[in-house]
Amino acid sequence: MIIKYFAWIKDITDKDYDEIKNNPPKTINDLKKMLCESYPDLEKHINSDILRYAINMEYTSINQKLNSKDEIAIFPPVSGG
């Protein structure tokens, strides 16, 4: 599983992506828990439900099931201008 980070999320994680080979999260909620443990500075953003998630290039807003070959992208909220 590949987890890609965008915009200021990359600043918090200090990387563009993570590759999870062992014990990947089974759902989006599991992914959120894993991210909170790995990157405590992301926790307030995850808990406030402002981040957006895409699974294999399709946005999701539900606690969708994941599989080990998925590519997950995590985006901050988009602002207009």
pLDDT digits (tens, 9 = 90+) for 44-59: 999 999 999 999 999 9
Give a yes or no: residue 58 inside a domain: yes
How buried is residue 44: exposed, middle or buried, by Cβ count under 10 Å (0-12/13-18/19+)? Answer: exposed
Judged against a pLDDT cut of 90, whether residue 77 lies above it is answered with no
Give per-residue pLDDT as tens, 1-39: 999 999 999 999 999 999 999 999 999 999 999 999 999
- Domain assignment of residue 56, yes or no: yes
Establish if 79 belongs to a structural domain: no
81 pLDDT tier (thresholds 50, 70, 90) = low
Residue 50 lies in a domain: yes
Q: Is residue 3 part of a domain?
A: no
Q: Distance between CA atoms of 79 and 66, rounded to whole angstroms?
A: 28
Domain span holding position 31: 25-68
Q: Is position 46 within any domain?
A: yes
Q: Count how many domains the chain has.
A: 1
- What pTM did the predictor assign? 0.92
Cβ atoms 52, 72 nearer than 8 A: no
